[in-house]
A and B are shown apart, each in its own frame.
Chain A
Amino acid sequence: KAGVTQTPRYLIKTRGQQVTLSCSPISGHRSVSWYQQTPGQGLQFLFEYFSETQRNKGNFPGRFSGRQFSNSRSEMNVSTLELGDSALYLCASSLGAGGVLDTQYFGPGTRLTVL
């Protein structure tokens, strides 16, 4: 079974721009979660999508948004980029049953650098 894939793997943007990251979950997984990982803040939960609906949300500003398509693929968008948005953005998929986040299978991540 293919793992979680994320595109692009690396991205360089400038302040004020916006960016869209993509995530394809493991086949059969209906839940997709997004995380931001930085050396200072660690691994922080952004949001989770299940069956095309945002089911849970972390404590991030509205510049961070996402969506999920009918095939469970998900995109994450960050608008008006700030230097502090430089991070590794990880996507994780899971079966998503029961309303509780179950075992997360992570993708390789997208390394975003904001200049």
Chain B
Amino acid sequence: GQQVMQIPQYQHVQEGEDFTTYCNSSTTLSNIQWYKQRPGGHPVFLIQLVKSGEVKKQKRLTFQFGEAKKNSSLHITATQTTDVGTYFCARSLNDMRFGAGTRLTVKP
């Protein structure tokens, strides 16, 4: 129960294009966390969203939490080759449930 569905599974963009990944839940989430995993690396925490409608920015990354707290998105403006990796959303309650991840590749 309380799975988080993440789309798309893959995204290939040209450097400079924007990128968005979406995370959806059928139930209300208490919080949502975002992680990035570089190829061959391990997941690294990016941010946590807790409040309804919350928007947080980290340089070119914008994170949103839906008003109903059932969905979230990560948007990257003007992608760079350093953005390559898999982006995961995760909800934490008594256990941690990760979305399947969106694998981003960037063509220089």
Chain A contact residues, CB within 8 Å of chain B: 33, 35, 42-45, 48, 55-58, 90, 92, 99-109
B59: Cβ under 8 A from any A Cβ:
no
Decide: A106 near B42, CB < 8 A? Known: A43-B88, A43-B101: yes
Chain B contact residues, CB within 8 Å of chain A: 30, 33, 35, 41-45, 48, 88, 90, 92-101
* List of 7 A-B pairs having minimum Cβ-Cβ separation, nearest first: A101-B92, A43-B98, A106-B42, A56-B95, A45-B95, A42-B100, A106-B43
Q: In the complex, which residues of chain B have a beta carbon less than 8 angstroms from the beta carbon of A90?
A: 42-43
Decide: A104 near B95, CB < 8 A? Known: A42-B100, A42-B101, A43-B101: no
Partner of A101, one of B43, B88, B95: B95
User: Within the assembled complex, what's the spacing in Å between the Cα atoms of A6 and B22?
Assistant: 31
Partner of B93, one of A55, A58, A100, A104: A100
Q: In the complex, which residues of chain B have a beta carbon less than 8 angstroms from the beta carbon of A58?
A: 95
Decide: A101 near B42, CB < 8 A? Known: A43-B88, A43-B101: no
Closest to B42 in A: A106
Q: In the complex, which residues of chain A have a beta carbon less than 8 angstroms from the beta carbon of B92?
A: 100-102
